[in-house]
């Protein structure tokens, strides 16, 4: 395999929309609130979010390999370190480089947004490393979904809105909740797929703790909840119903999640769940900008 292809796959491009969707939604809410759009903060926020997710993915790639939880026989997509495409040292260096690029984006964002952005940026970088790094990685406990909800929902949407307006509104926080719940569903798919291997290797995710039947119900709630909360956007009028256009895809995913046997097919369900979040986010952004 070409080195460039190995790096591309190690970045996990199929789920990078999870970090870009909240930036888009936060900016759309800001446009609705202020009627203005600041392109440089939007671009820097999008790049910074993408670099943080890529760095987190790379740390996860090497971290799971070093802990023995990623093997060539895993059900999920092949990982660069476990497959021997890239050395652990190179993947770790790539992760730090990605975080460094995010930090560079953050320098401009701090200049523009001030100290609140310092707190957001440092917390995001620390959480990205701690997801698989450190003595008690987040990914090895039951709080993975909570982590994603906070950083790919509340923090990313709220931070993007703040960069445009230098304030934070209840509407922005509500939009952050909707996007964050769908982001958490992506992690639920990942952990449901890997439940058996994770349990064997001492990776006590929420799926491992609760078992498959309960996790199926959690996924259903994560997928449906953002639609159930749309009436809270009543000030948008009929436009608040736009995200309902993605409901058929959501229902199809729930059926697949409940009826497919655990295995590699969940790689497609994971990518489709990230796609649902992006579709929902685009429709939600449209509702705020029309």
**How many domains does the chain fold into?**
1
Residue 96 CA: distances (Å) to CA of 9, 63, 66, 116, 227 = 17, 13, 17, 23, 37
Determine, yes or no, domain membership for 9.
Answer: no
Tokens read off for 21? 């969707």
Q: What is the pTM of this model?
A: 0.94
Determine, yes or no, domain membership for 2.
Answer: no
Contact 62, 43 (CB under 8 A): no
The DSSP symbol for 261 reads P
Q: Domain of residue 129: give its range.
A: 16-289
- Cα distance between residue 72 and residue 176, in whole Å: 37
Contact 189, 206 (CB under 8 A): no
Tokens read off for 275? 């796609």
Please list the pLDDT of the chain residue by residue as tens digits (290 residues). 788 899 999 999 989 999 999 999 999 999 999 999 999 999 999 999 999 999 999 999 998 888 877 665 667 788 888 888 999 999 999 999 999 999 999 999 999 999 999 999 999 999 988 998 877 889 899 999 999 999 999 999 999 999 999 999 999 999 999 999 999 999 999 999 999 988 988 899 999 999 999 999 999 999 999 999 999 998 999 999 999 999 999 999 999 999 999 888 999 999 999 999 999 999 999 999 98
Determine, yes or no, domain membership for 7.
Answer: no
Q: What is the pLDDT of residue 236?
A: 93
Cβ within 8 Å of residue 90, ≥6 positions away: none
Contact 127, 149 (CB under 8 A): no
The DSSP symbol for 37 reads -
The DSSP symbol for 79 reads -
Phi, psi for 225 (deg, rounded to 5):
-55, -45
Phi, psi for 216 (deg, rounded to 5):
-60, -40
Determine, yes or no, domain membership for 191.
Answer: yes
Determine, yes or no, domain membership for 241.
Answer: yes
- Burial class of residue 201 in the structure, from the number of CB atoms within 10 Å of its CB (0-12 exposed, 13-18 middle, 19+ buried): middle
Candidates 41, 49, 19; CA nearest to 165 is 41
Determine, yes or no, domain membership for 3.
Answer: no
Determine, yes or no, domain membership for 220.
Answer: yes
The count of residues in the chain is 290
Q: What is the DSSP string of 193-205?
A: HTHHHHHHTT---
Candidates 16, 19, 52, 48; CA nearest to 128 is 52
Determine, yes or no, domain membership for 190.
Answer: yes
């Amino acid at each position: 395999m070409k080195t460039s292809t190995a790096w591309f796959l190690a970045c996990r491009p199929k789920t990078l929309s999870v970090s870009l969707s909240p930036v888009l939604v936060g900016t759309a809410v800001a446009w609705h609130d202020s009627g203005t759009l600041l392109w440089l903060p939007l671009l820097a926020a999008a790049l910074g979010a993408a670099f943080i997710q890529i760095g987190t993915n790379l740390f996860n790639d090497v971290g799971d390999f070093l802990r023995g939880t990623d093997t060539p026989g895993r059900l999920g997509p092949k990982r660069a370190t476990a497959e021997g495409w890239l050395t652990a040292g190179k993947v770790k260096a790539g992760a730090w480089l990605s975080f460094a690029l995010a930090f560079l984006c953050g320098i401009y964002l701090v200049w523009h947004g001030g100290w609140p952005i310092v707190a957001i940026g440092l917390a995001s970088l620390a959480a990205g490393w701690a997801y698989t790094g450190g003595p008690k990685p987040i990914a090895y406990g039951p709080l993975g979904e909570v982590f994603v909800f906070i950083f790919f929902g509340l923090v990313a949407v709220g931070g993007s809105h703040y960069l445009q307006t230098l304030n934070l509104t209840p509407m922005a926080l509500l939009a952050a909740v909707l996007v964050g719940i769908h982001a958490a569903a992506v992690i639920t798919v990942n952990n449901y797929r890997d439940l058996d291997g994770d349990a064997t290797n001492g990776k006590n995710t929420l799926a491992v703790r609760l078992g498959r039947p309960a996790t199926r119900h959690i996924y259903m709630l994560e997928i449906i909840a953002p639609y159930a909360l749309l009436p809270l956007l009543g000030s948008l009028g009929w436009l608040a119903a736009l995200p309902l256009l993605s409901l058929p895809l959501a229902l199809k995913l729930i059926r697949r999640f409940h009826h497919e046997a655990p295995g590699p097919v969940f790689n497609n369900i994971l990518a489709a769940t990230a796609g649902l979040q992006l579709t929902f986010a685009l429709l939600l952004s449209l509702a705020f900008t029309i």
